[in-house]
Structure 1
Amino acid sequence: MLKKPKLTVIGSLNMDLTATAAKRPAAGETILGERFETFPGGKGANQAVAAARLGADVSLIGMVGQDAFGDELVHVLEQENVRTNHIGRAAASSGVAVIQVVEGDNSITVIPGANFQLTPASIKEKKDVIESSDIVLIQLEIPIETVAAVAAYCQEVKVPYILNPAPAQALPEAIIQQASYITPNESEAAILFEDTNKALQEFPDKLVITKGEKGVVYSGGTIAAYPAEAIDTTGAGDTFNAALAVRLASGSQLADACRYANAAAALQIETPGAQAGMPTEQDVTTFMRQNGENPL
């Protein structure tokens, strides 16, 4: 790694309730599943864990409830060396994600709970940690007005921020314009932009569209994905975004950061659970060298 980056992740913490089955039930249908598991998740927490494993100094700004899920979510982050002193406790249940996995692909229903108590006022209290960051990474499982407040403050203090626009929704133009990087997948890009090809030219070296096994597209071209056996794609996008943030904050060029992020995501999908399969810096370095790539 070029230097140890200081990241602030702002986003959700959820407990993931994961059911694996051979097929998705139709409306009104009951089926027997194969397995049920619980995993700590939420895009904010996932990205924080992934970045910490990749060697970054990571702070997470978020909210959990005053419940057992909240206790466990914070405890897991502490075990992963994520700074948790900026996580608040709300008078609401902790966030939950209900995930159905069928043949390695997932569909997700998120109940935000305490995550929607992360307000612009909460961000005002955290300005020091944002200002001291090399880069900020944010998603859309928290209120849009909070995302807008972060975007405006990052621009004011000249701290770059990565906008991971998930879950997909239309956004105020200012949030897009103020972002240093925007990282939608194909479906998210289609919601944000009428013409994704035009958008790639309008936002050179800023818009990065992830396309799963088809790799990554940005204004400089396409970067191929690494070969991987998809066991569970939950958290693949979070791993990609965290790895991208780590590398960009470390001084890498966008193309090199995308290659590194592709490698991290490829390793992650080969293990069940969003956080369970997130690789370490050494894992990614070894994997890239095995595939004939220079990880630096």
Structure 2
Amino acid sequence: MDLVVRQPRLPKPGETMFGTGFSTVPGGKGLNQAVAAARQGGDIDFIGAIGADGYGRELRDLVAGEGIGAVGLAEVSAPTGTAHISVVDSGENSIVVVSGANATVTALTAEQESTIQRASFLVMQCELPVAALAAAITIARANGVFTVLTPAPVVELPAGFLASVDLVVPNQIEAAELTGESDPARAAEVLSNARTWAIVTLGAEGCILAYDGTVLGLAPARPVTAVDTTAAGDTFVGALVARLAAVQSPGAVSAAGITEERMIDAVRWATVASSISVTRHGATSSMPSLAEVSAVLA
């Protein structure tokens, strides 16, 4: 659950200041991306954990309301995870995540494994323990499932982990942390080595697309007036994968099997979805429908 405070600026260390608003909004990177993909027409199943508390019940209701499968959503004794979000007047945000129930997902249940085996795409974030992500990738690769990773929050990953992912989508800060490269184009090259797709998002400047160690170009952002950038990246990823899935051919999907034309089309779709989301407040509450994105691209 996102606990969102609006404020004129970030406080200095030790400072107490007044905020201008507070809200609780269903969130979490995984849920955000699942909702964004579902609203773009994706057939989505969710894997994760919630607590047996009020936040957990609200999140489960949201999943059901969005038409997202929840066989893989476990209920545990730990409290539901929270994200504590400060949104300043410029629309930028800073986030502190308290994992709660998500931290208990260190292995996959039979239901969760089966969910992955049936999928065409597996979308992951680092809000679940790395052990669970590694297990999920192993199952995905054995079943021809295309894997996507948003490496946030940035955590220590095992050697070779990123090379085993088909598509990695960090923002500029995350890309620099993962590669040690301050230049986002160079970071994209490093992340895309070993026949991997990489998309480094740059906020209002768009995103950089790379494959197999080569930058393919900069996709510009759609100009809008932002009021809240919370979940803009998650909207981008959810819409991107939903668009990739919408135009895929039957059968297994590999990184090499997705053409540059198809990826560029998905990036264009995701860019529009993300641009709409930043003109609204909140995380899941800001995400556009398929009809809204289609209207812009018509």
Q: TM-score, normalised by structure 1?
A: 0.89
Look up the equivalent residue of 1:113 and give its one-letter code: G
Match of 1:107 among 74, 78, 94: 94
- Taking only the aligned residue pairs, the percentage that are identical comes to 36
Look up the equivalent residue of 2:148 and give its one-letter code: I
Structure 1 segment 11-160 matched on structure 2, within 5 A: 15-102=1-88, 103-122=90-109, 124-160=110-146
Offset from partner CA, 1:259-296 (integer Å, 9 cap, x none): 1111100001111000011011110111223xxxxxxx
Look up the equivalent residue of 1:147 and give its one-letter code: L
SS of residue paired to 1:89: strand
1:273 and 2:282 are equivalent in the alignment? yes
Structure 1 pair 212–203 and aligned structure 2 pair: CA distance change class (3 A): farther
RMSD over aligned CA atoms reads 1.5
Instruction: Tell me, in whole angstroms, the C-alpha distance in 2 between the residues paired with 1:246 and 1:203.
Output: 24
Offset from partner CA, 1:86-128 (integer Å, 9 cap, x none): 2111111000111000020100111100011112243x44222
The alpha-carbon deviation at position 204 of structure 1 amounts to 5.6
Q: How many matched pairs?
A: 274
Instruction: Tell me, in whole angstroms, the C-alpha distance in 2 between the residues paired with 1:134 and 1:197.
Output: 25
1:217 and 2:208 are equivalent in the alignment? yes
Residue pair 1:60, 1:84 contacting (<8 A) in 2 also: yes
Match of 1:242 among 238, 244, 252: 238
Q: Does 76-85 or 93-102 show the bigger shift?
A: 76-85
- Give unpaired runs (5+ residues) of structure 1: 1-14, 290-296
Residue pair 1:204, 1:218 contacting (<8 A) in 2 also: no
Q: TM-score, normalised by structure 2?
A: 0.88
Residue pair 2:42, 2:246 contacting (<8 A) in 1 also: no
1:208 and 2:199 are equivalent in the alignment? yes
- Give unpaired runs (5+ residues) of structure 2: 182-186, 211-215, 249-261
SS of residue paired to 2:69: coil
Offset from partner CA, 1:118-161 (integer Å, 9 cap, x none): 12243x44222111111110100010111111111111111111
Instruction: Tell me, in whole angstroms, the C-alpha distance in 1 between the residues paired with 2:189 and 2:119.
Output: 32
Residue pair 1:65, 1:94 contacting (<8 A) in 2 also: yes
Instruction: Tell me, in whole angstroms, the C-alpha distance in 2 between the residues paired with 1:134 and 1:107.
Output: 33
The alpha-carbon deviation at position 203 of structure 1 amounts to 5.2
Instruction: Tell me, in whole angstroms, the C-alpha distance in 2 between the residues paired with 1:233 and 1:47.
Output: 14
Residue pair 1:169, 1:191 contacting (<8 A) in 2 also: no
1:227 and 2:213 are equivalent in the alignment? no
The alpha-carbon deviation at position 82 of structure 1 amounts to 1.1
